[in-house]
Copies of this chain bind each other. A is one copy, B any other.
Amino acid sequence: MSKHLQKDLEHLHRSLLKLAGYVEDAVISATAALRNHDPDTAQSVIDGDNDIDRLENEIQDECLKILALHQPVAIDLRRISVVLMITTDLERIGDLAVGIAERAAVLARPPHVPIPDQIEAMTDRTLRMVRASLDAFVSGDPMAAARVIRADDEVDRDNDDIIRDLVAEMKQSPELVEPALSLFSAVRHLERIADHATNIAEDVIYLVNGEIVRHHPEAIRA
């Protein structure tokens, strides 16, 4: 690999990790806004999405420039296509954080539906998955990536538990249907954030092993 290409790839990685940092902060703030009935924090997440979108566009441009300038092959080419895919996943996590923040803003208004404690545990698990998927990319560790994919089952269980409780609450208190529906959406968004972390982990395995495992989880679980 030429030194010039190596330098450009390092810059690309830094840009990607910067994007990951923005997106992680957005998820942390959005879920905090939800738990604390805090409309100001919710609004800050909504306003901050422009920065995420701009950085996503910059990274896509950077990838295309590297492709055009260096015409990389084999692993370097795969690395850039993986950066493009991870960037898309991160941007969607950012959009989902905005979706949670929008629900948080609605839920900050009375009548307050109780926010289940389990959302905090589900948020922690989801954020750990996002962080671990990026760490697996940086270290090129397919075993760490496989652990992220397995962790998704736990988040799915959190999701199912919380939604079962929500359904019971809506049946018992019809006047809470609207806020409960907002909370339902927020929880589903969180669950989808974990799905995107799973996608990123699958991309890491593709990068390292050259095998596409997206949609083939059995290859990991076996």
Residues of A within 8 A of B (CB): 50, 53, 56-57, 60-61, 63-64, 67-68, 71, 73-74, 77-78, 81, 84-85, 88, 163, 167, 170-172, 174-175, 177-178, 181, 184-185, 188, 212, 214-215
List, sorted by A's number, 5 A–B pairs whose CB atoms are closer than 8 Å: A60-B81, A64-B81, A163-B181, A171-B175, A181-B184
> Can you name the residue of chain B whose Cβ is closest to the Cβ of A172?
B174
| Contact call B78/A215, Cβ cutoff below 8 A | no
CA–CA, A182 and B42, complex, Å: 27
Q: Give chain B residues whose Cβ lies under 8 Å from the Cβ of A212.
A: 57, 60-61
Q: Give chain B residues whose Cβ lies under 8 Å from the Cβ of A167.
A: 177-178, 181
| Contact call A77/B64, Cβ cutoff below 8 A | yes
Main SS at interface, chain A = helix
| Contact call B170/A174, Cβ cutoff below 8 A | yes
In angstroms, how far is the closest chain B Cβ from the Cβ of A195?
9
In angstroms, how far is the closest chain B Cβ from the Cβ of A19?
14
Q: Give chain B residues whose Cβ lies under 8 Å from the Cβ of A64.
A: 77-78, 81
In angstroms, how far is the closest chain B Cβ from the Cβ of A167?
6
Q: In the complex this chain forms, how many copies of it are found?
A: 2
In angstroms, how far is the closest chain B Cβ from the Cβ of A111?
13
CA–CA, A181 and B178, complex, Å: 12
| Contact call B188/A57, Cβ cutoff below 8 A | no
| Contact call A214/B81, Cβ cutoff below 8 A | no
| Contact call A53/B214, Cβ cutoff below 8 A | yes
Q: Give chain B residues whose Cβ lies under 8 Å from the Cβ of A77.
A: 64, 67-68
Evaluate whether A171 and B171 lie within 8 angstroms (CB atoms) in the complex, with A77-B68, A81-B84 already known: no
In angstroms, how far is the closest chain B Cβ from the Cβ of A29?
19
> Can you name the residue of chain B whose Cβ is closest to the Cβ of A84?
B84
> Can you name the residue of chain B whose Cβ is closest to the Cβ of A176?
B171
> Can you name the residue of chain B whose Cβ is closest to the Cβ of A58?
B212
Q: Give chain B residues whose Cβ lies under 8 Å from the Cβ of A73.
A: 68
Evaluate whether A67 and B67 lie within 8 angstroms (CB atoms) in the complex, with A167-B177, A174-B171, A212-B60 already known: yes
